[in-house]
Amino acid sequence: MTLGAMLAFAAALGGARAQGASAWTAEQTDHLVKVEGQYSNRHYGFRLSIPAGVSAWRTAPPNPDHGVMLILGEHRTIDVSAAYDAALYGSTAALMDRRVRDAGGGPVKRFTVQLGGAPAEEAVVGGAAPETVVAQWRAVTPENAINYLVVLVTTPAEQKADGAVLAAVLAGYHHMAPER
């Protein structure tokens, strides 16, 4: 998801994300669709399993469906999304450079990993203060010019527990042929 699309999705959440999953109201989610069990995005060609007990949401039509956001708690989310490379990053490395620069903070750790069986890059950015979030991205831009992102935003105190949920999401994440 491009930064603009991610910001638009966060705005669509109407501030509910900041309150945590248990504080969501009907008014805050009337423009969203709850996702349980499995999420599949045929347009961008990916699917994943939603771990039991995790609240997950996607935007409701007529808004574009780029992915799903899993709400782990206050200021803690996993965003799984895809978008065409409209910003013309051209490579996963360029996309990751931009995401890391936009996140600020530091230090940054980078790894070569897999996402849905495809080579991917992972970056971990620590916040500048103890209460700031830790952001972890996994991204891949295969030949179809779609950027696939999995982004964990968590706090240092919850990083281990949220990392276990991320591992479950990654284990259930698969690419498939996009429908055009």
**CA–CA gap between residue 162 and residue 67 (Å, rounded):** 19
Q: 176 has which bridge partners?
A: none
**CA–CA gap between residue 152 and residue 125 (Å, rounded):** 10
Residue 120 lies in a domain: yes
Residue 77 lies in a domain: yes
Q: Is the pLDDT of residue 105 over 80?
A: no
Q: pLDDT tens for residues 146-168?
A: 888 888 888 888 889 999 999 99
Q: What is the pLDDT of residue 26?
A: 52
Residue 180 lies in a domain: no
Q: Which domain holds residue 66?
A: 3-175
Residue 155 lies in a domain: yes
62 vs 11: which has the higher pLDDT: 62
Residue matched to tokens 């500048």 = 128
Look up the CATH number of the domain holding residue 13.
Answer: 3.40.1000.10
Domain total of the chain: 1
Task: Quote the longest CA-to-CA distance of the chain.
Answer: 45
Q: What is the pLDDT of residue 57?
A: 93
**CA–CA gap between residue 156 and residue 160 (Å, rounded):** 8
Residue 39 lies in a domain: yes
How many beta carbons lie within 10 A of that of residue 114, not counting itself? 13
Q: pLDDT tens for residues 19-32?
A: 444 454 555 567 88
Q: Are strands 146-154 and 174-175 parallel, antiparallel or unpaired?
A: unpaired
What's the rounded mean pLDDT across residues 66-79?
90
